[in-house]
A = this chain, B = another copy of it.
């Protein structure tokens, strides 16, 4: 990031026709975007949205309120323009693409980007979710798709996901990033204590009842005790308890960071993908803006690890990138403020005495 441009932008914001600091968070975002992009008048439009879809073997353990076939059905809904992310993408004028990176059934439809790494992950309660090679391949799909959109001219990136079971996967990955740092973090065959520690990381996802949340905690604890993923090694975590769409999102975020493209981070699953990218390359964190605070409890933990404060808190928990798309206009407003407002001097307005 370009700290000098950031400092110039901060000084410039104070010359605009408004009391100093009176646009609050928007002023800070404008300065952040100037640092990320290296431009005093940064732009985030048009935004690009890539929705990665994949299935999760862990869905067989009854962790979701929806059957696995919904992943494929929702891919068709995306392609037909009827899902929440389509609606919000149209509102913000975003380029949108849908990538089959691992749906558990054959899929072909006009507009679908087919990059299936495998037919869903394996049930990680029984075996590793995928090979190391597949995890790397999925990251590479994400890099490729983000670079293609960047070539087409997007100025900011939103990544979204669809995958029945993927809050369970995300909670397992987050737990691995947290617990896997401590030696002896994974106890022996008795996983009761580990399951207890999953509280705060595991939530209702699409809306399962409390007893099923406890079941999710137990499933994750047993999987962690079985595979003992290394929290310092994101590819190990992805391969043991991860998801193909999460790997793809992490790859896309890596590519955006390399090109100084700001990433508007959606909710829980996206933030875990961002955390994966940041563990691979810490500088990635500099291009991330947290869009919204999800109702999923693990999201707060993941946000804290990235040291990010979301822009809005609307009680959303849908995924698909929807929270990022809904919050996007606030980021756009920050850009327009620094790009279009008159200064006290240019407008002939008397400046105040300062605060």
Contact = CB atoms under 8 A, between A and B. Distances in A.
Question: What DSSP secondary structure best describes chain A's contact surface?
Answer: loop
A322 B203 CA distance: 36
Interface of A: 16-26, 64-67, 69-70, 73-74, 76-77, 80, 82-84, 86-88, 90-92, 204, 206-209, 295, 311-318, 322, 326, 329-330, 332-333, 336-337, 340-342, 346-350, 352-355
Contacts of A82: 17, 340-342, 346-347
A21 B207 contact: yes
Contacts of A314: 23-26, 311, 330
A159 to B, nearest CB: 18
Given A26-B326, A207-B352, 9 more contacts: A16-B84, A22-B317, A66-B353, A76-B347, A82-B340, A83-B341, A91-B332, A207-B354, A326-B330
A244 to B, nearest CB: 21
A346 B80 CA distance: 11
Residue among A21, A66, A87, A90 facing the most chain B CB atoms (10 A cut-off): A87
A196 to B, nearest CB: 24
Contacts of A17: 74, 77, 82-84
Residue among A21, A66, A333 facing the most chain B CB atoms (10 A cut-off): A333
In the complex, the 9 A-B pairs of residues with the closest C-beta atoms, listed nearest first:
A82-B342, A24-B315, A207-B355, A329-B329, A65-B352, A25-B314, A22-B318, A19-B206, A66-B352
Contacts of A18: 83-84, 318
A42 to B, nearest CB: 15
